[in-house]
């Protein structure tokens, strides 16, 4: 918004300065060195003739004293000028001897000149007072030009702004009608770049949120049919069965199905509410080495069950980073548990810190990820292996949660094959604080 304020100030002040300067030049040009005859000029012409007559009968030494007396008595700026120092065209020289003298104008004021009989070396000069000639029509025209020019400058300034606001309104209308991909193209001449960037960011989040909710609803509606069908079958079988043992068996199976449905629904709803969690992040300086160590400890039970060795490579010095402990811990646990599930013998966590970024890499020695699945693996509800079924608690949300956590920390998550071990290598990259 700073650019908007600066542009408004410069537009208004600049237009006032340049328009005022132009009008001053116009007035100056229209009045410069132009002789204007007024009723007061006639009075001064008579005074000039009378004083010239008085001076003509005096000798040379008395001229200055008489002129000075006249000046003090009438408070009129009167002086003697040398006729040799004033160059006039021949057409004007004759007017010096006429009644009322010669009326001339300079850039400062108007004045009268007249010859003095018997004293050809001198000219009598009377300065006329500056008179302001008011021309109401002319002043009105100048004022009208000033305001119209300012309005024109403001309209020129407003055209880019109104155009960007029009585009912003159109984009908002498109999003409201369901075109969630609508965005505002950036422009160097926009006064509201910050607003446009915020709008595009908001639109991207809305599009992603709606897409996630659609995927969530589609996946939930698909996955809930199987346990519901099992429950329906179990109820009918239990009602038809005469044996108490079979009834109990069907009831146990239904209980297991209900437990899986509860776990699935709870996980889906947790994922759907993650955007609200982003508003309550508690970022604080965290010892990342201790965080990873705690995550490894909590995954040791799963690692022992599968006979997997989990190790860590980290710098000797402790690494501190500003992050939300809960969600950072959850992202790392998700990656380690996934790596244990796919590893053959070992999982390695590598922590590395530099001036530009901090990276955490979780690598396993499993079979890796096929190249055609690398682009979709971070989408929610994506399962790479059919044998990792939802009955075992695998719903394809672990990596999607990691992606959201990294977005909240302005970081990124990536995957590759065989950079450290022969299996998949997941890398969390955090920018410097």
Specify whether the CB–CB gap between 391 and 380 falls below 8 A.
no
- What's the confidence (pLDDT) of residue 390? 47
**Domain spans of the chain?**
39-127, 225-272, 281-431
- What's the confidence (pLDDT) of residue 30? 54
Tell me the pLDDT tens digit for each residue of 277-303. 766 788 899 999 999 999 999 999 999
Q: Is 93 a residue whose pLDDT tops 70? A: yes
pTM: 0.53
Q: Is 146 a residue whose pLDDT tops 60? A: yes
pLDDT band of 320, cuts 50, 70, 90 = confident
Residue 357's DSSP bridge partners are: 431
Q: Is 159 a residue whose pLDDT tops 70? A: yes
CATH label, 39-127, candidates 3.30.70, 3.40.50, 3.30.450, 3.40.190: 3.30.450
Q: Can you list the alpha helix ranges (DSSP code H) found in 274-427? A: 274-277, 288-298, 300-305, 325-342, 398-408
Q: Is 219 a residue whose pLDDT tops 70? A: no
- What's the confidence (pLDDT) of residue 26? 66
* Mean pLDDT computed over every residue of the chain: 81
Phi-psi region of 106 (alpha: psi -120 to 50; beta: other; left: phi over 0): beta
Give mean pLDDT, residues 125-142.
Answer: 70
Tell me the pLDDT tens digit for each residue of 24-45. 666 555 554 456 667 778 888 8
Range 281-431 classified under CATH 2.60.40.420: no
Tell me the pLDDT tens digit for each residue of 162-216. 888 889 999 999 988 888 889 998 888 787 888 888 999 889 888 877 877 777 7
- What's the confidence (pLDDT) of residue 292? 92
pLDDT band of 62, cuts 50, 70, 90 = confident
Tell me the pLDDT tens digit for each residue of 67-76. 888 888 888 8
């Amino acid at each position: 918004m700073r650019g908007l304020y600066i542009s408004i100030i410069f537009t208004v002040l600049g237009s006032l300065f340049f328009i005022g300067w132009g009008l001053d030049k116009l007035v100056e040009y229209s009045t410069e060195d132009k002789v204007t005859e007024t009723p007061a000029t006639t009075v001064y012409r008579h005074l000039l003739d009378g004083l010239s007559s008085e001076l003509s009968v005096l000798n040379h030494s008395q001229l200055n004293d008489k002129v000075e007396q006249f000046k003090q008595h009438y408070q009129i700026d009167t002086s003697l000028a040398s006729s040799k120092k004033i160059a006039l065209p021949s057409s004007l020289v004759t007017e010096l001897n006429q009644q009322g003298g010669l009326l001339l104008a300079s850039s400062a004021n108007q004045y009268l000149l007249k010859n003095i009989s018997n004293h050809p070396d001198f000219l009598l000069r009377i300065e006329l007072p500056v008179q302001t000639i008011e021309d109401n029509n002319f002043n009105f025209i100048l004022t009208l030009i000033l305001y119209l020019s300012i309005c024109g400058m403001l309209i020129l300034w407003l055209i880019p702004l109104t155009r960007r606001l029009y585009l912003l309104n159109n984009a908002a209308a498109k999003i409201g009608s369901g075109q969630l991909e609508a965005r505002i193209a950036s422009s160097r001449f926009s006064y509201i770049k910050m607003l446009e960037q915020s709008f595009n960011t908001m639109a991207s989040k809305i599009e992603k949120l709606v897409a996630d909710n659609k995927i969530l609803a589609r996946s939930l509606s698909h996955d809930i049919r199987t346990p519901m069908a099992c429950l329906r079958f179990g109820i009918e079988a239990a009602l038809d069965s005469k044996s108490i043992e079979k009834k109990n068996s069907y009831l146990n199976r239904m209980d297991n199905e209900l437990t899986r449905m509860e776990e699935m629904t709870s996980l889906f709803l947790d994922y759907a509410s993650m955007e609200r969690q982003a508003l309550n992040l508690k970022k604080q300086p965290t010892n990342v080495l201790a965080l990873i160590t705690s995550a490894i400890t909590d995954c040791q039970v799963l690692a022992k069950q599968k006979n997997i060795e989990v190790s860590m490579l980290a710098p000797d010095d402790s690494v501190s980073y500003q992050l939300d402990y809960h969600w950072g811990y959850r992202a790392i646990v998700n990656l380690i548990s996934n790596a244990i599930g796919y590893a053959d013998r070992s999982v390695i966590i590598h922590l590395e810190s530099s001036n530009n970024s901090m990276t955490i890499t979780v690598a396993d020695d499993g079979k890796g990820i096929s190249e055609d699945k690398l682009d979709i693996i971070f989408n929610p509800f994506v399962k790479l292996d059919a044998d990792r079924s939802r009955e075992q608690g695998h719903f394809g949300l672990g990596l999607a949660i990691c992606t959201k956590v990294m977005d909240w920390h302005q970081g990124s998550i990536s995957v590759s094959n065989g950079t450290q071990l022969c299996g998949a290598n997941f890398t969390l990259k955090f920018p410097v604080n």
